[in-house]
Amino acid sequence: MKLQQLRYLVEVYKQGLNVSEAAEKLHTSQPGISKQIRLLEDELGVQVFVRNGKRVVDVTAPGREILRISDRILREAQNLKRVAEEFVNEEEGSLVIATTHTQARYALPPTIQEFLKRYPKVKLSIKQGSPTQICEQVVAGEADIAIATEGIDLFPELAMLDCYQWNRSVIVPDHHPLLDLRGQVTLADVAQYPIITYDFAFAGRSKINRAFETARLTPNVVLTAIDTDVIKTYVGLGLGIGIIASMAYDRYRDEGLFAIDASHLFEPSTTRIGIRRDAYLRGYAYSFIQGFAPALTRKVVEQAMGQSEED
């Protein structure tokens, strides 16, 4: 049994049982993969894949177990490499953050700025996606850390940690009637105007819906976006009023738009970070997390990952 053979297995599976694509992805030849998989199957005495003549068409029952374990082994091998890297150079490496537009644009900049100054040699990259996509990326090992606000409780592989709570604001163009009610805006007032807000998969959209439902109001959502900047643009064009994360409004930058605090209208949302429990995090990753949420010290994070018993 060789680690490469396991890599081949898993990659063929990931590529939808296509040996050729797996070969491409792994920069090797397709006959090589074919042969190594057969060798492994011979060694184990069990078929991993079901073949219809010469096509790989399915995974056998033992194959499913074998793939699961192989995946774990490869992950640990990955961790092992990272441990080594950590000790070779604590300041160098890479860190992949998967997050939503709102976080990337409004919550993360100061943290990232600090981080880049502190760890100039670390290659930091940000991947955007919906909360679900983000978590999937972390689960798949394509990202190290997920930062999102919603829909991220369904991944048992991930440890989730609360970062901070935030509220919403209603943004309106200049001279909007809601501005006259300043301080006393109700949900009913808001429901009178066409609404532009986040896409359903995103940042606490469900909290917005729930608030209206509870008040037995039907909001007229005319446009949804995954992106606060898009929402602002259309609010600026007078197509409706926006409901956005308060932190996404800046009095100076967002000229011609005005924010009305709506923390009394909608439940606050909690932004969380998610990490694979079985991942090995580099030291600077812990540093990044604490930079973003000071309460999340290395100890706290490790405990949440279930690694505390070792230290």
Residues near its own copies (CB under 8 A): 1-3, 44-46, 60-62, 65-66, 68-70, 72-73, 76-77, 79-81, 83-88, 156, 280, 309-310
> CB of 58: closest distance to its own copies in angstroms?
15
Tell me whether residue 85 or residue 267 sits nearer to its own copies (CB atom): 85
Half-sphere exposure of 250 (CA within 13 A, CB side): 9
Tokens representing 291 are 């930079």
Alpha helices in the chain (DSSP H): 3-14, 19-25, 30-44, 61-88, 101-102, 109-118, 131-139, 187-191, 205-214, 228-236, 283-292, 298-305
Q: Applying CB under 7 A, does 48 fall inside the site for DNA?
A: no
Tell me whether residue 30 or residue 132 sits nearer to DNA (CB atom): 30
Among 6, 9, 10, 36, binds DNA (CB under 7 A): 36
Chosen from its own copies, DNA, none, partner binding at 39 (C-beta under 5 to 8 Å by type): DNA
Q: Applying CB under 7 A, does 51 fall inside the site for DNA?
A: yes
Place of tokens 């296509």: 18
Place of tokens 């040996």: 19
Beta pairing partners, 39: none
Reported as type and span, the H/E element at residue 260 is strand 257-261
Tell me whether residue 65 or residue 213 sits nearer to its own copies (CB atom): 65
Chosen from its own copies, DNA, none, partner binding at 236 (C-beta under 5 to 8 Å by type): none
Tell me whether residue 79 or residue 206 sits nearer to its own copies (CB atom): 79
98: left (phi over 0), alpha (psi -120 to 50) or beta: beta
Q: Applying CB under 7 A, does 25 fall inside the site for DNA?
A: no
Site for DNA, rule CB under 7 A: 2, 4, 17-20, 27-32, 34-39, 51-57
